[in-house]
Structure 1
Amino acid sequence: MKFSHLHGYLAVIIQLIFFGLFCIFVRYSPDADARHHPLPENATKVETKMAHHSSGDPWIHARTYPMFQDVHVMIFVGFGFLMTFLKKYGFSAVGLNFMISALCLQWAILIHGFFHLKYGTIFVDLNSLLGADFTAATVLITFGAVLGKTTPTQLILVTMIEIPLFTINEIIGRQYLGAVDMGDSMFVHTFGAYFGLALSLMLYRRDSSTEKEGSSYQSDIFAMIGTLFLWLYWPSFNAGAAVGDDQHRGIVNTYVSLIACCFTAFAISSIIHKDKKFDMVHIQNSTLAGGVAVGTAADLMIQPWGALLIGIIAGTLSVLGYVYLTPFLASRLRIHDTCGVNNLHGMPGILAGIIGCIVAAMASEANYGPSLYEIFPARAPPHGTAQLDQLRVLLPDLEGGSGISATAQAINQILALVITMGVSIVGGIVTGLILRLRPFATLKTDELYEDETYWLVEAEEDEHEAHKTISIPMNDAADNGTSNADASMGPLLSS
């Protein structure tokens, strides 16, 4: 048996390891722990400290759950069906998406938890589950760049390598640079896209494009199911981690950007085609680019007209990318991008990072009020200053920051984008080199974009032939002096 067919055994080993780690480290958060409601009089010192991490609001997670579930649907239905455009790869598109997502969520809970241990414990609540979904989206974006060209074993290895790198990059950007990215356009979309493109570069093969890479009328309709789920739920993705007016603003900005992007993508797709027809590839993907492009600034004061402008630019950029940049990457740079993730996630993610930098440079108390220091925590006055004490009169929970200026915040936003691209590209290259090793042999040419290599697939041709042997055409029945009904009853009469 080839190593590439040992994914089942590898999955069992990983699952058992995860079970052991969950037993040792993972526990309910104080909000979900019955022992902390109320805290017993004989509680230990550690239990008392843990109870302080409770939100104190028994309904906070009930309010979070609807948006969490929206994102959950995006991961398993949206991304899964979006990739079903390949006519002979539908089982793998939905099925491997299902498998890899389940792996991602467990691994993400553990990895993120290890970087944020409290008293040697990983606490799990709805917020951590939502964060795991965001992490899974990163890997699924990468999956799109190499769709149909990797084995299940390789995808498992990509997941195990990419998630720690993703987490480290996010910690650098958020904790050390203080960059804000509410919709994770930089930390999820840009990272996943360029990790996938770098991986595709290292796995490049001359026979990447085959007849099986194409779509069919039916497969394109299935892919549109994924598009519509993603389009409808994207406001929850961009605003799910926000609270209060930030969340409200994030929903409005994402909604407005998406509708402008959708209409613009249809327009540009038609204009750019020689016969003025719509291209389904653009409609399946470019209509979503507005959700990515507005992500970094989703909770910021960009005004509805600003969100509309972002959607227009994103839709135009994405369609042009499919028409001109994707063929260039494949022919000149040896980067074969199966799903065009650069056009849906990569370039719109870069656009989002640039917009975030511009908006951060313009942010002031005049247009944000005291909430400026909640939205940009690094700009909050340092601990022990009189200004911080004054702000705490209005914002009791405000924590001290670095007191950086708007210009410094803008510079940190760009640094976070540059570092994200650097880590993702280097990580993708290293991962690609590992996957090129002989034990992780790549697929043969006739196995590309094909379900039958790893799935039990009913042979439609055999069923068709069997049907033909039972059914006798009308003219043949007439020649034999029998009716069509008599002919169809032949096998029963003879028995």
Structure 2
Amino acid sequence: MVVKCLKASSPPPPPKTREKPLLPGVHLRGLSVTITHTHRHPAAGLPHPERETGFPRTPPACHKSPTDLAKASPTQSFRGRGEFDIPRQEERPQREAEGARDDAEAQTFHQPPQGNVEKPLWYLTTTTAAILLIQGLFIILFTAFVRYDELADASHPGNNHHYILGGNLSKHNPGGLLHHQLLNMEIVVLAGVGLRMAFLREYSYSSVGVSLLLTAMTLQWAILCRWFITDKEFMYISIYSLLEGCVVSVSVGVTHGALLGVASPLQLVLLTLLQVPVHTATHHLVNNIIQAVDRGGSLSVHMFGAVFGVSACRALGGRRSATTTRLSASKTSQVAAFIGTMVMVVYLPEVWSWRSSGDDQHRAQINTLLATLAAAIVALPASSIAHTRRKFSMSDIQCGVMGGSVAVAAVADMMLEAYGALLLGAITSAICVLTRRRLAPMLQTRLGVADTAGVGVSHGLAGAMGGLAGVVMAASASDKGSYGVSVYEIFPPMAPKESTPELAEVVSYYVVPAGKGRSSGSQAAHQLAAILAVLVISVVSGVLAGLLLRLPLLENLTQDDLYSDHRFWQIPARQSSPCRAHTQVGPHTHSHPHDPAHATTHHKHQQIQSLAHNNNTGP
């Protein structure tokens, strides 16, 4: 049997049709995007026949998003000026009028902004003149009233004789003993504070640059202010003066974080000149008059700086409207801020450890590290719990770790015990993270406080918790417990009064100066009074300073200047222009950094290429 196989007739192939363009005038060829548009004849004003070209010759007057491009009707053509016109004969006069208007806009487009006009060499801005004037006054005051301390004066007899003949031993000079502490504190105030504030996408220059300016100004001004509260004829400067100045610089850096992006450099300079004397007086009140123990500065440095800055920001006007882009942070800026936070956490004990010695300093190093480790561990789960999507936040982790380090500074040299240091760091970290995520936004909305860097929580709240921990430690301290008679070294006001049998008994085997004879309960009450005093002084002085910053001569920021470097800093062209002057079309890269027309056109090509990629690959 013969079986005949018949081949099924296949349907005829579909007729080849021209590929419908993705957008009117846009064709995909391989990996490149070609834009077809019309050019006007320079003489007759008539359009040339459509031709394929890479870029239009004139800058666009406005931008169209990819969505607007997709909504254009097929009868429209892309002209290369950011517009869509209808090539119909009856509308040719209207098109010619629009072309003339676009040419005028193009001429305006090429004109430089008003702030970029070149100035003569002798021209000084208000900020520049004020900075030079202040530095000149510092030089005059240092010339008239500042002298070297005897340990740094080459003409002093102790430095002109051999130690056998009564001279000073070079190994006992504090310049050599405290050299590393001074370097570490400079790292904190110059690198740590500045990098920690550089998390805003468009405000990084001001964060780092203005921080350097304020630190340099604070160190000089703090040395003079400490001399003002003494009765000496001259200010004798030594390495201790520089260390105290660095402590004040930390407080000023905390205040700067509260006004980040809402105050001009001139306003921040004036605020620093007002804050340093108030901080010096507050530090003198807490340590010498109330005689509360605040070795690490949790109250007089961190809490004072945070509350002073937040109060000044509220009086200045609080957070005004700004674009979401300016308030956002990129991965790079967040990593830089995280590095700055870690620098501050690692070197923060150097801010105050030079004030202790022996077993007190040894114990302080142990307690500080244990509290920081516990704060770092608890910060991650606390951030996840506070986040609605149960994710980690880099800002939350920085807030928690910094809060634990600030809180333990007040009680680091006390008999906190290892478990107590861990508990204090963990509890402070969790409270700071949850407060920053849940409570702080509500308070900022109702009180109108900006607090851009969140220092009110990481330094203000954490400093207050450290002060409360000091109250508890003072209430439990006695010479019969875990301290012994060394309690009089940690809490000097609790030492017996002068010319008493108790002091004579203690001095017979342990050298301590005479104190106030306070009980543990009395010392705890004074610790609590110090917290309230710092809170009241910082709020009142901060509000008054913020009201003073409203003066029109201080270059108040406008809405366009908020959280932006463009008004006071020279920004690279690629970042300052509204459209990036570097994009890639197909496999080739075109750069026109000096031509705004090409920059805006490249931006449009990038939008079209992104739309084409989304249509080809899908969601």
**1-side partners of 2:380 and 2:234: how far apart?**
50
Question: Equivalent residue for 1:448?
Answer: 562
**1-side partners of 2:268 and 2:450: how far apart?**
17
**2-side partners of 1:66 and 1:436: how far apart?**
41
The range that moved more, 241-250 or 179-188, is: 241-250
* 2:151 counterpart SS class: helix
Is there any run of 5+ residues in structure 2 with no aligned partner, and where?
Answer: 1-113, 116-123, 591-619
1:427-446 correspondence runs (5 A): 427-446=541-560
Shift of residue 179, structure 1, vs aligned partner:
0.5
**1-side partners of 2:283 and 2:399: how far apart?**
26
Question: Equivalent residue for 1:327?
Answer: 441
Residue 177 in 1 paired to residue 290 in 2? yes
1:395-406 correspondence runs (5 A): 395-396=510-511, 398-406=512-520
Closer/same/farther in 2, CA of residues 375 and 449 from structure 1, 3 Å limit:
same
Amino acid at match of 2:147: R
Residue 161 in 1 paired to residue 274 in 2? yes
Amino acid at match of 1:32: A
Question: Equivalent residue for 2:96?
Answer: none
Is there any run of 5+ residues in structure 1 with no aligned partner, and where?
Answer: 42-50, 478-495
Of 139, 142, 147, which aligns to 2:260? Answer: 147
Closer/same/farther in 2, CA of residues 22 and 333 from structure 1, 3 Å limit:
same
* 2:572 counterpart SS class: coil
Deviations 1:49-70 (A, max 9, x none): xx99x99962444232212222
Which protein has greater RCO, CA pairs closer than 8 Å, 6+ apart?
1
Shift of residue 466, structure 1, vs aligned partner:
5.5
Question: Equivalent residue for 1:90?
Answer: 204
Residue 31 in 1 paired to residue 151 in 2? yes
Residue 136 in 1 paired to residue 256 in 2? no
* 2:448 counterpart SS class: coil
2:203·2:564 contact (CA, 8 Å) conserved in 1? yes
**1-side partners of 2:247 and 2:446: how far apart?**
33
* 1:27 counterpart SS class: strand
The range that moved more, 198-207 or 416-425, is: 198-207
Of 382, 392, 395, which aligns to 1:278? Answer: 392
**2-side partners of 1:154 and 1:267: how far apart?**
39
Of 297, 302, 322, which aligns to 2:411? Answer: 297
**2-side partners of 1:421 and 1:289: how far apart?**
18
Q: How high is the sequence identity, in percent, across the aligned residues? A: 34
**1-side partners of 2:461 and 2:292: how far apart?**
19
Question: Equivalent residue for 1:224?
Answer: 338
Question: Equivalent residue for 1:15?
Answer: 135
Amino acid at match of 1:9: A
Shift of residue 441, structure 1, vs aligned partner:
4.3
Amino acid at match of 1:313: I
Deviations 1:62-98 (A, max 9, x none): 2322122222211111110011110011111110000
**1-side partners of 2:466 and 2:174: how far apart?**
29
Closer/same/farther in 2, CA of residues 208 and 377 from structure 1, 3 Å limit:
farther
Amino acid at match of 1:454: F
2:153·2:159 contact (CA, 8 Å) conserved in 1? no
**2-side partners of 1:375 and 1:418: how far apart?**
22
Question: Equivalent residue for 1:484?
Answer: none
Residue 236 in 1 paired to residue 350 in 2? yes
Closer/same/farther in 2, CA of residues 127 and 428 from structure 1, 3 Å limit:
same
Question: Equivalent residue for 1:487?
Answer: none
The structure carrying a bigger helix percent of its residues is: 1
Question: Equivalent residue for 2:177?
Answer: 63
Aligned-pair Cα RMSD in Å: 2.6
Question: Equivalent residue for 1:377?
Answer: 492
* Total equivalences in the alignment: 462
Shift of residue 5, structure 1, vs aligned partner:
4.6
Question: Equivalent residue for 2:237?
Answer: 124
Residue 252 in 1 paired to residue 366 in 2? yes
1:31·1:58 contact (CA, 8 Å) conserved in 2? no
**2-side partners of 1:387 and 1:32: how far apart?**
39
The range that moved more, 322-331 or 207-216, is: 207-216
Question: Equivalent residue for 2:423?
Answer: 309
Question: Equivalent residue for 1:110?
Answer: 224
Question: Equivalent residue for 1:393?
Answer: 508
Shift of residue 284, structure 1, vs aligned partner:
2.5
**2-side partners of 1:186 and 1:416: how far apart?**
8
Larger Rg computed on CA atoms: 2
Deviations 1:125-148 (A, max 9, x none): 222211111101111111101101
Deviations 1:439-486 (A, max 9, x none): 224201111111111111111166986555xx8744899xxxxxxxxx
Amino acid at match of 2:261: G
Amino acid at match of 2:294: D
